[in-house]
Every structure is written in C-alpha cells, then in structure tokens.
Structure 1
Amino acid sequence: MRAVILDLDTMGADISLDPLKECGVELVQWSATSAEQVKERIAGAEIVITNKVPISAEVIKEAPALSLICVLATGTNNIDMQAAEAAGIPVRNVTAYGTPSISQHTFGLIIALANRLKQVDREMAAGAWQRSATIFAFLHPMTQLAGKQLTIVGSGELGRAVAKLAEAFDMQVVFTARPGNNDDTRPPLQDVLPDTDVLSLHCPLTEATRGLINADNLTLLKPGALLVNCARGGVINETDALAALRSGHLGGLAVDVLPEEPPRGGHPLLEALNEDLNLLVTPHMAWGTQEARQRVIELTSENIKIHLDGCE
C-alpha cells in the first residue's frame, strides 16, 4: 500500500520516520507541496499524510485509490470533511501529542511577562547593570505569581496541564464557562475578569470565541493583568489588546499565534516588538519540541496500522 507525505518539512529535520516505515507501507516523501501539485503527487496512493496542505473536494474526487487521510495535527480544517465522508474516506488526526510542550511554553511566557525578561534583557544589553549604583538593578517591576489568580479559558487536557503548573507556583486557578455553551455552570468570563491577574487562553477558534478578548472586556481586567494566547489567532482582538498594553492597563501580552500564519503581510503586534512594551510574540512554536513532533509521527503510524488492520 502506498502512502504519500505531502509536507514533511513542517515536522522538522530531527524526527524519525521509522514508525511510519514499520507500518509496512511504501512511503513517498515530499518536503513541501503546493495546492497545484497535490493531485499529481497523490495519484495512485491509498494513504495521504498531510499537515497543512489542503485536501479539497476536487482532489478527493479525482483520487479513486484513496482510502485514508492522515493529518499530522489536531485541526482538520484543511480537509474537505464533507467530501471525504461522502467518498467513504476516513480522516484521522492526532490529539494530545503536545500537551507537555505547549503547557511548558505557556508557562514560560507567563514567567517572562511576570519578570519582564524581554525588557530587562534589552536594558542589560545597553549596559544598565554596569551603570547601577548597587550590586543589583531593579530595572522593571516584577510580579510574584504565588497567590495570584490565573483564569483559564478552555478546560481540556491542555488547560488542565497549565493549571497543574500554576498550582505548583501556588496560584489560584479559575476555569471559566466555555463560550457558546449555555449549559456550562462555571462562572462566565466577564464575572471573573475583575479578579484576574493572569488570563491564559486554551480554547478552539469558533464563532463563539472569535474576538473573545476585545476592547470591551479588556477594560474589565484588573489593571496590570497579563494576557497569554497559545490557542488560536483571532480568539483575541490583537489590535485591542495592543492598545490596552500601550495604555498601561494591560501589564503584559504574549501570543504564540496570529490570525494569518505565517503573517506575510505583517501584523500590528510584530510592528510593536521594537517598542518598549512587555510584549512577546513567538511563531506558533509552542507545540514544536522534538518530543512532541516525534509523538505526532508515532500517533499517525498507529492510525495507519488501525486502518490497515481493518483492510485485512
């Protein structure tokens, strides 16, 4: 059985494909694939493996041998799911592969904001310590996390992992009701924002969560609060958040995601990185430890084995 990987470069060069090769398939590898190349490259293949390359209804229709689509990610928005279902082609994604990685990155951002590490680093590079009148230099006010309230939007595996780290720092953790779920008995976001010291987002991007954090509810946040988004770009209104940061109402802002990735046309947060702000932007890297990426390959190989067992 022939399996084709369309965008191997998205997984990095330091992973092993041995788990896939051990499935007993003929594995064809492509570093990257444009939308125009998909049909040709999957012709005759029974299994297609993609991370971000779109698999459209047209592609599915013109691939009669196709029997399985594997996604090297949790999100399946790049697959025409309706067309796949109509063609009887299962789509298998991977979940929970990067929980330790993403929770680690999230809390790293929280600590960096609390201690204003980016701003301190810049001043150190400019000789601030050398000019200090004492053996230490208090360059920016720091926030002690112990005793502070961490409000988390999203109580799935990732949100719970971040909560566990927060509890180790003696923080008080509050989960809010899931936006769009009217049966959720947890407190709504607007009720907990006034007591929030750190707000961390771990919810999917849906119509209910798009622009969830905006100018209106940012004003409800405790002055000096820290905001971290390792969920999806668009869950916060980045322009509103930047305005709150510039005004001083928001004490720190860190994001690992933007609405357009990569941001070919730029973005206001990227343009603001050279300002003297407690602002951090990382390039959708929270999930990307070698261990997490290798786990994606392992879980995908398990998906293929289950499929092959069902074909016997």
Structure 2
Amino acid sequence: MSHKIVFLDRETLDANVRKPNFPHDYTEYAQTAPDQIVERLKGATICITNKVPLREATLKQLPGLKLIAVAATGTDVIDKAYTSANGIVVSNIRNYAFNTLPEHVFALLFALRRNLVNYYNSVRQGRWGYANQFCYFDYPIYDIAGSTLGIVGYGALGKEIEKRATALGMKVLINDVTDVPNKVDIPTILREADVITLNLPLTPETKNMIGAKEFASMKKSACIINTARGGIIDEQALADALRNGVIAGAGMDVLTVEPPKNGNILLDPTIPNLIITPHVAWASKEAMQVLADQLVDNIDAFVAGSARNVVAG
C-alpha cells in the first residue's frame, strides 16, 4: 500500500525531515488555515501536524485518515475522543527537549532572580550615568544557590530541571499528578518556593490552576515560570499580581492564544518584571532535529505495524 502523507505546517519545524522507509506520496505546506485542512488532506492516510487543529467536524470529512503524527509533545489540538472512537492513531514526540527546555527555564530563572532585564533597560535609558556611586540598587537581586525551586509536573522535563537545580545548590520541591518520591502538595510549593516552574499539560483540571488566590499565597519575592501551555496560568490574574507587587516576576514562553494576533493582556509593556518569549523554549537546533527524526520514526513504526508513542487510537 502506498501512503499519502501531508504535513500541514512544515514551517513550524526548522530541521531536516528525512523520507520515510516505505512507498509514499509526500506533500508539505508551510502553514494551513482551518478552511484549507479538508481539501489538503483529501485522500491522505497520514497527516503530520504541529499546531493545526483537527477536530471532529474536520475529521468526519477524512475517512481515509489512519495516522495523525503530531510534531510536538502536546496533543490538545487533536480531538482524541473522535480518533479513538474511529480507529485513527495519534502519535506524539517525547523526551526530545531534554536540554533545550530546562535551559530556557533557567535562562528565565536567572534573568528574573537577578533582575537582568530591568538593569539592562535602565542602563540603556541612561540611569547609570546619574548614579551617586559606582553602581546602584534599584532592583533587588537574589542568589540562585540556596533558593527553593518548586517543580509542578515531574515528567521527563521536570526531572531534567531538578538535576540542574540541584547542581546549582537549590532546594527542590516536587509535585506531580502521579505518586512520586518526596511529593509535596501545591499549597506548600506556593507558600515556600522562590521560583515555581510549570511543566504539565493543559487539561480541564489544569486550566487556570494558578490564579489570584494562588498568587496571593506566594512570597512577594517569588517568581513563576510557564514553559508548558498557555491557560495553565490565569493571564488577567498574573497581570494584576505583577502590577500590584503580589509576586516579584514571571517568565512566560506560552500564551492562551498563539500567535496573539488580537493582542493579549500580558503584552502590555507597562507590566513590571514580566519576560515573554514566543513559545521557543523547545526550539534549539539540536532539539528540533531530534524531534524531526523521532517524527519519522513514529510514522515508519506505524506503517510497519508496531505503532509507537501512541496517545490515542
């Protein structure tokens, strides 16, 4: 059987995608709008998508589809209830961002704890030239060593973050949906952590799990980092918490709607000590190539009759 493979959003992956090891017809599109999905997937047996959503109304029109190979770990763009009920296998990418995402977390952590952005901007604005001595202390600086990191979500990435935190001399508090050694509850992490990093999927249970009440229970000197999914943090509550000094800072690599074509409350430049990066924590050159190789491995395995990294179907 010759398979028809369609990659709906090839532009999202800056890496070499090798050819699968079976007869196939391959088509790729840089990006795909919602109203183009059905036409482009007509006759396809394998769909590759990163962020193009495939919901029930769309999938009903694609009876030949056998595999959705998601070029990412998160699969919230797929209607998995429908795929499971209709024999469509969904695979995802796992354990590829083991260096890049933890490094991004710590880049944000260092910048926030040492107030690098505020000092950088103030120097550019001429503040140093008006100082009365050789330096100035407009913004508090805190050591990383000896501080407490709360890791919410203790999967592969959470474990890699823990390794780096321990090497830096941090105390680590861990929470996960599963039972793990030395697990502590969320209220304890909120109360005791100097920095909290979120590394868990967006689900109905995790949506807006960090809101005004949670920020109020954190230290005023604490920071929070989200490199997981937008929507886990209540964005309005975060903006308010930063403006009112409820917490000291935040690093966000994700927003509820991406890209934020219609704006986002967190993009207001007057919000203090907020660093936003455009969902690139996963995107080192090395990690993207690991992802691309695993993506094709998943497709090859499915066609060979031994599907791997299956999340539904």
**TM-score normalised per structure 1:** 0.89
* Structure 1 residue 144: Cα displacement: 0.5
Distance 1:127 1:202, change over 3 A: same
Question: Cα deviations across residues 165-187 of structure 1 (Å, max 9, x unaligned)?
Answer: 11121000011353xx6999732
CA distance in 2 between partners of 1:169 and 1:241 (Å): 27
Distance 1:192 1:68, change over 3 A: closer
Task: Report whether the alignment pairs 1:172 with 2:171.
Answer: yes
Q: Is the 8 A contact 1:20 1:298 kept in 2?
A: no
* Structure 1 residue 148: Cα displacement: 0.8
Identical pairs, percent: 35
Alignment coverage as a number of residue pairs: 304
Runs of 4+ in 1 over 6 A off after TM superposition: 181-185
SS in 2 for 1:174: strand
* Structure 1 residue 80: Cα displacement: 2.5
One of 2, 9, 12 as aligned partner of 1:10: 12
Q: Name the aligned partner's letter for residue 5 of structure 2.
A: A
Task: Report whether the alignment pairs 1:254 with 2:251.
Answer: yes
One of 185, 200, 213 as aligned partner of 2:210: 213
Question: Cα deviations across residues 173-212 of structure 1 (Å, max 9, x unaligned)?
Answer: 011353xx69997321113332221111112222322222
Unmatched segments (≥5 aa) in structure 1: none
Q: Is the 8 A contact 1:226 1:250 kept in 2?
A: yes
Q: Name the aligned partner's letter for residue 71 of structure 2.
A: L
Q: Pairwise mapping of residues 140-289 of structure 1 onto structure 2 (< 5 A)?
A: 140-178=139-177, 186-271=183-268, 273-275=269-271, 277-289=272-284
Distance 1:183 1:225, change over 3 A: closer
Distance 1:300 1:137, change over 3 A: same
CA distance in 1 between partners of 2:86 and 2:190 (Å): 46
Report the counterpart of residue 310 of structure 2 in structure 1: none
* Structure 1 residue 34: Cα displacement: 1.7
CA distance in 1 between partners of 2:232 and 2:147 (Å): 23
Report the counterpart of residue 298 of structure 1 in structure 2: 293
RMSD after superposition: 2.3
Q: Looking at both structures, which has the greater relative contact order when contacts are Cα pairs under 8 Å and sequence separation is at least 6?
A: 2
Q: Name the aligned partner's letter for residue 95 of structure 1.
A: R
CA distance in 1 between partners of 2:7 and 2:41 (Å): 9
Unmatched segments (≥5 aa) in structure 2: 307-313
CA distance in 2 between partners of 1:24 and 1:293 (Å): 25
Q: Pairwise mapping of residues 133-144 of structure 1 onto structure 2 (< 5 A)?
A: 133-144=132-143
CA distance in 1 between partners of 2:97 and 2:179 (Å): 29
Q: Name the aligned partner's letter for residue 26 of structure 1.
A: D
Q: Is the 8 A contact 1:177 1:189 kept in 2?
A: no
Task: Report whether the alignment pairs 1:309 with 2:304.
Answer: yes
SS in 2 for 1:20: coil
Q: Is the 8 A contact 2:9 2:30 kept in 1?
A: yes
CA distance in 2 between partners of 1:81 and 1:194 (Å): 36
CA distance in 2 between partners of 1:33 and 1:150 (Å): 40
Distance 1:91 1:107, change over 3 A: same
Q: Name the aligned partner's letter for residue 8 of structure 1.
A: R
Report the counterpart of residue 80 of structure 1 in structure 2: 79
Q: Is the 8 A contact 2:21 2:300 kept in 1?
A: no
CA distance in 1 between partners of 2:294 and 2:171 (Å): 34
CA distance in 1 between partners of 2:181 and 2:170 (Å): 24
CA distance in 2 between partners of 1:169 and 1:76 (Å): 33
SS in 2 for 1:302: helix
Q: Pairwise mapping of residues 60-79 of structure 1 onto structure 2 (< 5 A)?
A: 60-79=59-78
* Structure 1 residue 24: Cα displacement: 4.7
CA distance in 2 between partners of 1:106 and 1:263 (Å): 22
